[in-house]
Amino acid sequence: MKQEEKKTLQIPYEECTDGSIIWRYSKNPIIGRNPNETIARAFNSAVVEFNSKFVGIFRGDTKSTIPYLYYGESEDGINFKINKDPIVFYNVDGSKHEIEYAYDPRVVKIDGTFYIMWCNGSNGAPTIGLAETKDFKKYTFISSPFLPFNRNGVLFPKKINGEFAMLSRPSDGGHTPFGDIFISYSKDLVYWGKHKLVMKPSWQWWQSTKIGAGPFPIETKEGWILIYHGVTKTCAGMVYSIGAALLDLNDPSKVIGRTDNYLMTPEMEYETIGFVPNVVFPCAALVDNKGRIAIYYGAADTYLSLAFTTVDKLLSVLKK
């Protein structure tokens, strides 16, 4: 594992041709329906670099339509081979951790360990599940950081003031029609506290019903860039768009900047048609040393897609 970081991986990227802040990959979606014989739809998923490859933790909805997490890998970050069997988690004591359902994973690497968070079915109620792996072979379930009902838990990629920090969105048990982003802290990933409100829905309609953190925040000199989803409710259901915010480096509950305009909204056929029409849902972002960003986002709860941006572009709309 020593050589892990040696080979420099090239993240998927295409140049912007039209002045957008975020622009789509020209060959979207990168994962279509029925990617393998057990998975019906693989969409809201997280990709990171590991061992000179791109590895992903995928939300795969089986043909029994129960979502679980799956491991997949890719040479180029675009073409993925996804396992047919879901990831098995073990408790700290070595026993198997039973999974009712698991969806919308995020993955973040802190000090050489990969942490996976997802919406975890626990006694029939959704809350955040938190696990770790060092090799994407053995996965240890660490804790349910919060009481139900919670979704969209996202760890920061490093400790803040010596503590782990996690964003999350308290909710209820259904198709929650409300939702704010909170931050919580922990010294050990098991006991959590110091909860603070970060952001509420806003008057712009695309983010007026609920909001939730997307990929783990990207550290910049100006602050943490948080790419998030915002939701509005039409007379034909909810519409999910993408926005961004800039959070204070030392106290991320302080919002320095936030997009009034969405940065991306469902427009393409693979975003407007599918199991849940009109959803773009970002779960992961790769950043290279030039500040180029590849965003992995679920489309219509059916496809996995890619979009691109840069740190500078995002900062240009978030600093003011």
Give contact residues for its own copies (rule: CB under 8 A): 33-34, 40, 61-66, 122-123, 125, 127, 143-150, 168, 170, 172-173, 175, 178, 180, 182, 184-188, 190-195, 197, 200, 203-206, 232-239, 241, 260-262, 265-267, 269, 272-278, 301
Distance between CA atoms of 96 and 89, rounded to whole angstroms?
6
Q: Considering the complex, what minimum distance in angstroms separates the CB of residue 23 from its own copies?
A: 12
User: Do the bridges between strand 237-247 and strand 139-143 make them parallel or antiparallel, or are there none, so unpaired?
Assistant: unpaired
**Which lies closer to its own copies via its Cβ, residue 50 or residue 146?**
146
Contact 314, 320 (CB under 8 A): no
**Which lies closer to its own copies via its Cβ, residue 220 or residue 278?**
278
> Which strand (E) or helix (H) includes residue 312?
helix 311-318
Contact 248, 254 (CB under 8 A): yes
Q: Considering the complex, what minimum distance in angstroms separates the CB of residue 188 from its own copies?
A: 8
**Which lies closer to its own copies via its Cβ, residue 168 or residue 220?**
168
Tell me the two tokens of residue 303: 């496809």
**Which lies closer to its own copies via its Cβ, residue 13 or residue 90?**
90
Q: Considering the complex, what minimum distance in angstroms separates the CB of residue 146 from its own copies?
A: 5
Q: Considering the complex, what minimum distance in angstroms separates the CB of residue 276 from its own copies?
A: 5
**Which lies closer to its own copies via its Cβ, residue 38 or residue 83?**
38
Q: How far is CA 113 from CA 93, 135, 190, 302, in A?
A: 19, 9, 16, 30
Q: Considering the complex, what minimum distance in angstroms separates the CB of residue 3 from its own copies?
A: 36
Distance between CA atoms of 283 and 236, rounded to whole angstroms?
25
Q: Considering the complex, what minimum distance in angstroms separates the CB of residue 293 from its own copies?
A: 20
In 218-299, which residue ranges form alpha helices assigned H by DSSP?
Answer: 269-272
Distance between CA atoms of 267 and 313, rounded to whole angstroms?
21
**Which lies closer to its own copies via its Cβ, residue 51 or residue 62?**
62
Distance between CA atoms of 238 and 92, rounded to whole angstroms?
39
Q: Considering the complex, what minimum distance in angstroms separates the CB of residue 21 from its own copies?
A: 10
Tell me the two tokens of residue 152: 């969209």
291: which DSSP letter?
S
Start-to-end Cα distance in the chain: 43
Contact 274, 302 (CB under 8 A): yes
**Which lies closer to its own copies via its Cβ, residue 142 or residue 306?**
142
Distance between CA atoms of 186 and 303, rounded to whole angstroms?
34
